[in-house]
């Protein structure tokens, strides 16, 4: 996962309500400099939307989000996704993720959850919900006993605090929904989304 994210500090978290929005949305994000895209498996349009992006936007690095069970790990593999992200982690999910050839980021919000994930060999995690779980203060505390672990904090992150998160040495990237906003996708405001992507890239340095 660290190889995939090299040079990509911001991952837009995408929720698709319509399949036809998938390709122009991905094209706008890639044009704005954000190539690593997390498409959440929350909607009926998600699976076909991912297929369309993989087929028609070759510069995009597409992964699945909201992966909550073993079946969705298998689905992600079959779709040709390059990574998978979960908001949490069960023992079955941790085991399936560790055995998959596709990089998997389980979600954690506490030391105990982190240590359980490490028992399965995981070293990269989603920190969720980041702000509600304590934000940068918790990530700084994690850095002491878990120096080899890296995080993708998501939840409550936006233009107001993204730089603070990215300044932490144990943060690989941040996930955010402020770029591919649901209302902008519904309006098919691709140029505005591209502008937001460019702003995120500039902030990330």
Q: 38 an active-site residue?
A: yes
Helix (H) or strand (E) holding 83: strand 83-85
CA distance 137 to 140: 5
Report CA 41 to chain centroid distance, whole Å: 12
- Given the residues 38, 113, 119, 164, select the one marked as catalytic: 38
CB neighbours of 72 closer than 8 A, spacing ≥ 6? 41, 64, 84
CA distance 50 to 163: 29
- Given the residues 35, 52, 126, 194, select the one marked as catalytic: 126
CA distance 104 to 40: 14
Q: 20 an active-site residue?
A: no
For tokens 């560790």, what's the residue? 98
Active-site annotation, residues = 38, 126
């Amino acid at each position: 996962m660290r190889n995939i994210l090299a040079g990509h500090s911001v991952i837009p978290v995408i929720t698709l309500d319509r399949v036809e929005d998938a390709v122009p949305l991905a094209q706008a994000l890639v044009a704005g400099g954000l190539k690593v895209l997390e498409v959440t498996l929350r909607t009926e349009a998600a699976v076909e939307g991912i297929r369309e992006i993989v087929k028609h936007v070759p510069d995009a690095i597409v992964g699945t989000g909201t992966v909550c069970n073993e079946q969705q790990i298998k689905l992600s593999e079959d779709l040709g996704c390059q990574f998978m992200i979960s908001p949490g982690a069960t023992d079955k999910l941790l085991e399936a993720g560790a055995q998959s050839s596709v990089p998997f980021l389980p979600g954690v919000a506490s030391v105990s959850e982190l240590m359980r994930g490490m028992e399965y060999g995981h070293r990269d995690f989603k920190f969720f919900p980041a702000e509600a779980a304590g934000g940068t203060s918790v990530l700084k505390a994690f850095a002491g006993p878990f120096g080899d672990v890296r995080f993708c904090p998501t939840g409550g992150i936006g233009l107001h605090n993204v730089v603070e998160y990215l300044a932490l040495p144990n943060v690989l990237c941040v996930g955010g929904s402020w770029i591919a906003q649901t209302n902008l996708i519904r309006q098919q405001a691709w140029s505005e989304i591209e502008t937001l992507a460019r702003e995120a890239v500039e902030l990330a340095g």
